[in-house]
A and B are shown apart, each in its own frame.
Chain A
Amino acid sequence: MTVETAKHRELGLTDAEYELIVEKLGREPNDVELAMFSLLWSEHCAYKHSRKLLRRLPTEGERVVMGPGENAGAVDIGCGYAVAFKVESHNHPSAVEPFEGAATGVGGILRDVFALGARPIAILDSLRFGELGSARSRYLLDGAVRGIGHYGNSIGVPTVGGEIYFERPYEHNCLVNAMCVGLARTEEMVRAAASGVGNAVVLMGASTGRDGIGGASVLASAELGDADAAKRPTVQIGDPFEESKLLECCLELLGKGLLVSLQDLGAAGLTSSAGEMASAGGVGIDLDVARVPLREGDMEPFEIMVSESQERMLAVVEPAKVGEVLALCEKWQTGAAGIGVVTDSGRIRVLRDGALVGEMPVEALVDGCPLYDLDPVEPDGWLYGNTATLDSAASAEETLLALLASPSVASKRWAFEQYDSVVGSRTARRPESADAAVLAIPEADNAIAISIDGNGRRVACDPYAGTVEAVLECAQNLACVGAEPLGLTNCLNFGNPEKPAPAWQLDRAVSGLAEACEALGVPVVGGNVSLYNEGPEGPIYPTPVVGMVGELPDPFQVAGSAFVRDGDAIGLVGPFRPSLAGSELAKLRGELAPGLPKPDIAAVAAACATVRKAVRAGVLSSAHDVSDGGLACALAEAAIGGGLGCKVDLAPLLDRGLTPDEALFGEGLGGFLLSGKGEVLESLGGLLLGQVGGGEMDIETGDDTFEVDLEGAARAWRSLPDALERRS
């Protein structure tokens, strides 16, 4: 074996891929070229195991302004405005160094959005950790929450929503997915395609250092293992102040029409941004690494080309405007240097002080990576083990309190109070006050609602049905605030796609995503794939995280999730057929097994429309969808939030053939827990269950009745800080 072949393996390329590179170049690649190929041909950049599957997703719709392939997707919200949004993972960096990993995850997704010329107006995050009994999980949770807060708070973009689940399979490999939503005047948005031969290529923002070298290939495209501590230097370090200046500077440059195109530097740094800009524009780019401002003077050309130093953007600028661009960067005290030029060569040429140190065709570099078919095999049985923490003989009252205190169900106030949720003065519904975040858009005389969701445990039970549920759960959340879905972004967090079971999960999940989106008429405008999420104990739960954006006419006319009026009727609307399969209760009882009920997408979509209409008409006091922990937990959340008890009888559900356990704690799609006038709820086709009022929850299931005082329920539901402190 030659030295070169050993090196390509270290960089994550297979022998066949290396041979293909040699064939495309017509020679052996040098070190610079090999480093660049290894990154752009990594799973993280090339989507080589997922791109074929992703072709199934519907990406077109009347409201789509920008779809997959741009830095972020965007949909039209009227009056000449669009919202841009995307969710992206920063899982492996966060598993190695949670604070910086999560912080730079936020920084990266912000850049994706303002690269389009959109001002970021909201951040949401979707986090997964192991059970809180583990010191590692508590450390990762604490670091990730601090990191998200550090970056988002410092840059003045509100974190308005999110979700956190705690499950054993994420113990080693936590998930940190961040979503950003931005607002732009549609006509001022820019694309990433480089154009105009002779135009200057300007690198803006922070200087370039050795941080994050190899992040995309070493960290993001391989399984985690024991040697992870040694990978710490591959995690980038974030500086929100740099990004704040860069953000304002870029938006001012775009507002003045000074840029031809703009692209952020993320995974694979200059290599991917220059490569992708050239590829999208069908041009070539010459870059001189000697002109890149460096933190360390002795960096090699390959290091400069692949550094993942944060807070950098690459712009294409007409030569006559370069002076003005540099002056504006000076005003914002952000770095800027002309480092190259757009050419008609169709090649990326890397120079150092004018001397050629690497040259490759754009097509080979960006689009030449072979795409692989998966080899999916449905696993035989439940892969993830079971641990019972609740006796199945526990009373209904004990069960409810145990579910409310289960960290995945419990209030996440401890986390979201560490985030600025109000900056920007758009936040009409703050975390926990409604099922979706609501942001006013006075520019377009309306509002948007945002939800992010993905229950990996249920996807593990049935990847198809679980993924359909993630999409419809978002749609239900939006319906509760009166919003109609406009578009969807997703992050597919899965295990090693080269293994048969994760491959099967991925394949089925993408089908579920495609069919749910198709049925709802919601286009997928962008997304991200994070594979190889495995630790020594095996893969994570397959976790497609769905972020959905919708619009509503009036941010004042939004139902909250909590009860508000003594004496209101309580009703259950929608095709709710709960089962214990894959539920939080099944987890606590150690009864998890493959299989979920088949989702009825059309019926859920119809119920969403009904609820949306009622919310918009202002006839409901509250609206909350039934999710983790079932109807009893939904009732408790509405009661605790409003400080009002309730008296309900679940007989109408038992009459449908449900057991008391299923009626109380079963989970499934299509359940809306509404309060308001009885006749209104009946007119929506709802089952009347009881009334709001009193200081306790009084629940009747056939012959049995149990009571939980509101204070006790609230104590259980707000027990997350205790769970963290008791053990730390």
Chain B
Amino acid sequence: MRWGVLQFPGSCDERDALHACSLIGEARLVWHEERDLDGFDAIVVPGGFSYGDYLRAGAIARFSPAMEAVAELAAAGRPVLGICNGFQVLCEADLLPGALLRNESLRFICRQLDLVADGPNPVDIRPESARRRGGVLSIPAKHGEGRYWAPAAMLDAIEANGQVAYRYAPGQNPNGSVHDIAGVTNEAGNVLGLMPHPEHAVDAMTGSTDGLKVFERMAAVAA
């Protein structure tokens, strides 16, 4: 299992994502100017503030050479996980539906949250243990622009297709996301965007290992 973790100027969580990936495979950082990603079985677009989030979160990163290659891999069906800023980048790149807006509170929020896995999902890259409806993962979220939004028709389609991968547990929606959505997949199900951070939940010492399951399951899908 070979993981590529993108690194843009302004990325923050790429080393943590690299560590999480390396717990279950080989992993290396992919500089944003690299074009050839053929050697990777799965790609993580990590959190942070790519290019300073200038213009709009993810708006510049989507044009990077590495993202062009990610789009090709995604089209070929390989798993792509976007976390936080990575989710924003994947939405900007039209690899995922919808958009992430500023939190309803207009404040950055950092908090451990419960995520409820939703389903069904065509190609399920959600963790085994959380697969059945109601499975719960404890994972930290930290973002200023994490309010998921999509136009009504798109939202209906996402729901109908089972593309909502995770919702915030009842009463825990930290940002005002529509339908409590914390993560969505593309229609094919191989691209997942997740606002909370599974890479920060891979060690009991820092509070939870639930995030590891997200990476494990992606590895299983890629294999």
Contacts and interface: CB of A to CB of B under 8 A. Distances in A.
Nearest to B12: A156
Contacts of B140: 422
B56 to A, nearest CB: 14
Nearest to A142: B107
B63 to A, nearest CB: 14
B159 interface: no
Nearest to B141: A422
Nearest to B11: A156
A418 B142 CA distance: 8
A424 interface: yes
B223 to A, nearest CB: 25
B206 A154 contact: no
Contact of B49 (A154, A416, A426): A154
Contacts of A156: 11-13, 48
Interface stretch (B66-74, B108-116, B120-128, B176-184): B108-116
Interface in A415-438: 416-428, 430
Given A422-B197, A556-B205, A417 B110 contact: yes
Interface in A542-574: 555-556
A416 B108 CA distance: 10
A333 B33 CA distance: 12
Nearest to B54: A241
Contacts of B109: 417-418
A370 to B, nearest CB: 44
B187 interface: no
Contact of A153 (B108, B202, B206, B207): B108
Nearest to A119: B15
A490 B110 CA distance: 28
Contacts of B107: 146, 418
A425 B144 CA distance: 20
B216 interface: no
Contacts of A423: 12-13, 16, 142, 200
Main secondary structure of the interface of B (DSSP, over half): mixed
B51 interface: yes
A188 interface: no
A440 B207 CA distance: 12
B206 A425 contact: yes
A155 interface: yes
B77 interface: no
Contacts of A149: 108
A419 B110 contact: yes
B10 A245 contact: yes
Interface in A237-269: 239-242, 244-245, 248
Given A240-B52, A440-B206, A556-B204, 16 more contacts: A153-B108, A153-B142, A153-B144, A154-B49, A154-B52, A154-B53, A155-B12, A239-B52, A241-B54, A244-B9, A244-B52, A333-B9, A422-B200, A423-B13, A425-B203, A425-B206
15 contacts: A244-B9, A244-B10, A244-B49, A418-B108, A419-B108, A420-B108, A420-B110, A421-B110, A422-B206, A423-B16, A423-B200, A425-B16, A425-B19, A425-B200, A428-B205
Interface of A: 146, 149-150, 153-156, 239-242, 244-245, 248, 332-333, 416-428, 430, 440, 555-556
